DNA sequence: GTGAAAGCGCTAACAT
DNA sequence: ATGTTAGCGCTTTCAC
């Protein structure tokens, strides 16, 4: 490995001069600068970013930990964050927390050790202590999609309760009475809010609440498949299913197709998230759409401001930005 | 920040002893060990992985650079790699090369500086020099999905030419004559192979070759949309379109729906890659399926073996593993 | 068994 | 304008 000293030796200067040339932060005479550049060229030298960051504690990269790398929802989030930070000359490294606290912790540690300047994550609710430690250490953090108690930091989320409420209200409006819901864990604010909206709408319409119609579990595709099947095994069949996340929706569709149930004739389906395939599947899906790309953009922008030391943002300890959802009616509901 | 010296001071030992305790690689008396552990506990100390790796040149993490983070194809690849390396107690950080040589180079540098023990990437063909440099520096590399000339390293790919050949042959078999193809750039071995298969099958059947029926461009969704529309603007309309990548397929479907063309009555569609939505869209898609998850598993396993210094793998300079594709016939073709 | 000290590659005072 | 040097936090050889 060729290092700064090798370059310095070859150019006949000190390593400080080499550093100055590389970082362009001190005046170096044209003559020496050229010598150094030439030596760098010839030796094919490259700065060791890791050694540098050991020193300066800054890397110009941010880390992102998402809930489930397989989900299109998180792909879009990741892409929007990267697109945004790229404008600030920042790079992004992505980690798969997999909605698993121990994986999350592992990657939090890796990111911290790699001295990323900031972290954006969809938190599980088990690592608040460590997250606080990271914040105290000076690394900027912003939460996305989910909130957690006990950590004081900015976040950008969506009006979960309201999105869900509007959806169920719509279903009731078009005549559905037996409405089932498949929701992600209520320890997450997403699951909690989406369940609340469901409950509120059912209550408001004075519909009987049937606990057998409510399934709560992890939010991956397979969980969606399983919970849908469970739901349909019951003696009483719902007229429509509301699924409270993208992958839960995907799972429900797969299960319904497998059971050869026609949507919406045999059973209706109202999903969460509007993505590429939402409109092209059979039938096109009625969904609660959330501004996924925007979620990432907003989070990244807040993070960049915090990193740059923007007073307004830095002073407000925990700014929570809530974006709104909107109902998109297509053909999976009658 | 609390460091090893702080722990050493608190425990009344030397920092060498602290290091020994942490790494469990020297004999330390029970008495001192306990003291050290207690100090670590009380100070909430954590090793700085980056400082450590500056010293030992090992991180127990690998880096993955994918072509397009938005594509489900790459999500699956990433997940399968992570699942696999996790078994070896390795972590994975993911970067979005975005099929852009300069982004790829940027992330290659970041990964190298972060001293990842290995890298898996779907290469563009512009950074062979740098990739070779990385390999020479001792970092293990394995290519996935695409091959590039001029770099000597292991790779796992798919039988592109054959997959495409079988698909077109099938189309010809069921009576299609005017067969269009939308393919990713032929500088990539994927695009090249898939085009070859198309050409070979057309040739073998002595069908006239219509250059207007061949569109070659980037492999993102929007490119698929645009090329499909271009194709349909021509005076002569193909009877069926073959799309040579997942996102190209997605784009074609979106474009066709937008143009209100019925699949397969107005025009047939044969796509590439079998993913979650392939079978649930309208109509269910006939596709060339490739073992996506397996691609990642194989690549990760080879990488792990190289990192562990497995003789067999390390000695064979550039082992290319080719997995096979298979045609899945559904309803998007007549 | 344990500790002192050198050094990984870099940056930033400080001295010249 | 350029060089000397200390030190970021860690590991590891070599004394003791």
Q: Are A180 and A214 in contact (CB under 8 A)?
A: yes
> Which residues of A fall within a CB distance of 8 Å from B280?
253-254, 257, 277, 281-282
Torsion sign, CA atoms B101, B107, B110, B113: negative
Please report which confidence band the pLDDT of residue B63 belongs to, taking 50, 70 and 90 as the band edges: very high
Q: At what angle do helices B160-173 and B189-204 cross, to 10 degrees?
A: 30
Q: What is the 3-state secondary structure (H, E, C) of B8-53?
A: HHHHCCCHHHHHHHHHCCCCCCHHHHHHHHHHHHHHCCCCCHHHHH
Q: How far is CA B126 from the centre of its chain?
A: 17
> Which residues of B fall within a CB distance of 8 Å from A109?
46, 49
pLDDT digits 0-9 by tens, B201-212: 999 999 999 999
Q: Is B61 in contact with A110 (Cβ distance < 8 A)?
A: yes
> Which residues of A fall within a CB distance of 8 Å from B71?
75
Residue among B54, B96, B254 whose CB faces A280 most closely: B254
Phi, psi for A63 (deg, rounded to 5):
-110, 145
Chain D bases near protein CB atoms (7 A cut-off): 1-5, 7-13
Q: What is the 3-state secondary structure (H, E, C) of A30-93?
A: HHHHHHHHHHHHHHCCCCCHHHHHHHHCCCCEEEEEECCCCCHHHHHHHHHHHHHHHCCCCEEE
Residues 6+ apart with CB under 8 A from B265: none
Strands B320-323 and A118-121, sheet pairing: unpaired
Q: Are A80 and A49 in contact (CB under 8 A)?
A: no
Q: Are B62 and B116 in contact (CB under 8 A)?
A: yes
In chain B, which residue's Cα lies nearest the Cα of A281?
B281
Entry field: residues in chain A: 334
In chain B, which residue's Cα lies nearest the Cα of A277?
B277
**Interface test mutation site (partner B, options A98, A277, A330, A332, max chain B beta carbons within 10 A):** A277
- Residues 2-21, chain A: which have Cβ under 7 A from strand C? 3-5, 15-16, 18-19
Q: Tell me the pTM.
A: 0.94
Q: Which of B203, B265, B274, B208 is nearest to B239 (CA)?
A: B265
pLDDT at B137: 86
Please report which confidence band the pLDDT of residue B50 belongs to, taking 50, 70 and 90 as the band edges: confident
> Which residues of B fall within a CB distance of 8 Å from A69?
75, 78-79, 82, 94
Tokens 């060498």 locate to B16
* Secondary structure (DSSP) of B75-123: HHHHHHHHHHHHTTT-EEEEEE-TT-HHHHHHHHHHHHHTT-SEEEE--
Q: Are B270 and B54 in contact (CB under 8 A)?
A: no
pLDDT digits 0-9 by tens, A285-325: 999 999 999 999 999 999 999 998 887 777 667 899 999 99
Entry field: residues in chain B: 334
Cα gap A172→A334, rounded to integer Å: 11
- The answer on pLDDT for A22 being more than 90 is yes
Cα gap B316→B313, rounded to integer Å: 5
pLDDT at A311: 76
- The answer on pLDDT for B312 being more than 80 is no
Whether the bond into A307 is cis, omega within 30 of 0: no
What is the average pLDDT score of chain A? Answer: 95
**Which nucleotide does the CA of B29 lie closest to, via C1'?**
C1
Name the token pair of B14. Answer: 């030397």
- The answer on pLDDT for B227 being more than 90 is yes
Mean pLDDT for A62-85 is 98
Which residue is nearest nucleotide C5, judged by alpha carbon to C1' distance? B16
pLDDT at B317: 72
First-to-last alpha carbon distance for chain B, in angstroms, is: 67
Q: Looking at chain B from residue 222 to 261, which residues have their Cβ under 8 Å from any Cβ of chain A?
A: 250, 253-254, 257
Q: Is B50 in contact with A113 (Cβ distance < 8 A)?
A: yes
Please report which confidence band the pLDDT of residue B239 belongs to, taking 50, 70 and 90 as the band edges: very high
Please report which confidence band the pLDDT of residue B53 belongs to, taking 50, 70 and 90 as the band edges: confident
**Which nucleotide does the CA of A6 lie closest to, via C1'?**
C9
Q: Which helix (H) or strand (E) holds B143?
A: strand B140-144
**Which nucleotide does the CA of A14 lie closest to, via C1'?**
D3
Q: Is B114 in contact with A114 (Cβ distance < 8 A)?
A: yes
Which residue is nearest nucleotide D11, judged by alpha carbon to C1' distance? B55
Residues by CB within 7 A of strand D: list them: A 12-17, 20, 26-29, 31-33, 51, 54-55; B 1, 3-5, 15-16, 18-20, 22-23, 25-26, 46-48, 51-52, 54-56
Q: Which of A134, A116, A109, A94 is nearest to A49 (CA)?
A: A116
pLDDT digits 0-9 by tens, A212-261: 999 999 999 999 999 999 999 989 999 999 999 999 999 999 999 999 99
Residues 6+ apart with CB under 8 A from A124: A97, A99, A100, A101, A104, A188
Question: Considering chain B, what percentage of its residues have pLDDT values greater than 70?
Answer: 99
- Average the pLDDT over each of A192-201, A315-324, B55-64, B106-115 and give the range with the smallest value: A315-324
pLDDT at B254: 97
pLDDT at A71: 97
Q: Is the C-beta of residue B26 closer than 7 Å to nucleic acid chain C?
A: yes
- Average the pLDDT over each of A16-25, A268-277, B198-207 and give the range with the smallest value: A16-25
Q: Are B296 and B78 in contact (CB under 8 A)?
A: yes
Tokens 């070759």 locate to B209
Which residue is nearest nucleotide D9, judged by alpha carbon to C1' distance? B51
Q: Looking at chain A from residue 251 to 310, which residues have their Cβ under 8 Å from any Cβ of chain B?
A: 253-254, 257, 276-277, 279-284
Distance from CA of A115 to the nearest CA of B (A): 8
Strands B286-289 and B326-328, sheet pairing: antiparallel
Please report which confidence band the pLDDT of residue B136 belongs to, taking 50, 70 and 90 as the band edges: confident
Q: How far is CA A169 from the centre of its chain?
A: 28
Encode burial over B8-32: b for 16+ CB neighbours within 10 A, e otherwise: bebbebeeebbbbbbeeeeebeeeb
pLDDT digits 0-9 by tens, A142-177: 999 999 999 989 999 999 999 999 999 999 999 999
> Which residues of B fall within a CB distance of 8 Å from A51?
54
Q: Where are the alpha helices (DSSP H) in chain A?
A: 4-11, 15-23, 30-43, 49-56, 72-86, 101-113, 128-136, 160-173, 189-204, 221-233, 246-258, 292-308, 311-315
Q: Is B106 in contact with A96 (Cβ distance < 8 A)?
A: no
Paired with B11 in beta bridges are none
């Amino acid at each position: 490995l060729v290092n700064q000293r090798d370059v310095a030796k070859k150019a006949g200067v000190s390593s400080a001069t080499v550093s100055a040339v590389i970082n362009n932060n001190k005046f170096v005479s044209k003559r020496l600068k050229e010598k150094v550049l030439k030596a760098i060229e010839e030796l094919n030298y490259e700065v060791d970013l890791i050694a540098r960051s050991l020193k300066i504690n800054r890397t110009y990269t941010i880390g992102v930990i998402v809930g489930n790398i397989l989900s299109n929802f998180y792909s879009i989030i990741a892409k929007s964050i990267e697109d945004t930070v790229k404008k600030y000359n920042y790079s992004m490294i992505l980690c798969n927390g997999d909605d698993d606290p121990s994986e999350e912790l592992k990657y939090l540690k890796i990111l911290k050790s790699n001295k990323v300047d900031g972290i954006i994550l969809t938190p599980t609710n088990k690592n608040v202590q460590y997250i606080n430690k990271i914040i105290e250490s000076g690394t900027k953090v912003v939460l996305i999609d989910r909130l957690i108690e006990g950590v004081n930091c900015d976040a950008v989320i969506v009006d979960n309760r309201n999105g869900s409420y509007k959806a169920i209200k719509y279903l009731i409006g078009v005549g559905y009475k037996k409405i089932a819901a498949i929701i992600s864990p209520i320890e997450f604010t997403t699951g909690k809010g989406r369940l609340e909206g469901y409950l509120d709408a059912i209550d408001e319409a004075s519909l009987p609440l049937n606990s057998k119609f409510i399934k709560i579990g992890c939010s991956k595709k397979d969980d969606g498949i399983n919970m849908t099947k469970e739901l349909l095994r019951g003696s009483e069949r719902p007229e429509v299913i509301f699924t409270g996340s993208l992958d839960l929706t995907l799972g429900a569709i797969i299960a319904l197709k497998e059971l050869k149930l026609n949507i919406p004739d045999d059973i209706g389906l109202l999903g969460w998230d509007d993505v590429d395939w939402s409109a092209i599947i059979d039938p096109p899906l009625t969904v609660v759409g959330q501004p996924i790309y925007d979620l990432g953009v907003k989070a990244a922008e807040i993070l960049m401001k915090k990193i740059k030391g923007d007073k307004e943002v830095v002073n407000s300890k925990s700014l929570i930005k809530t974006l709104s959802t909107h109902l998109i009616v297509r053909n999976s509901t009658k």
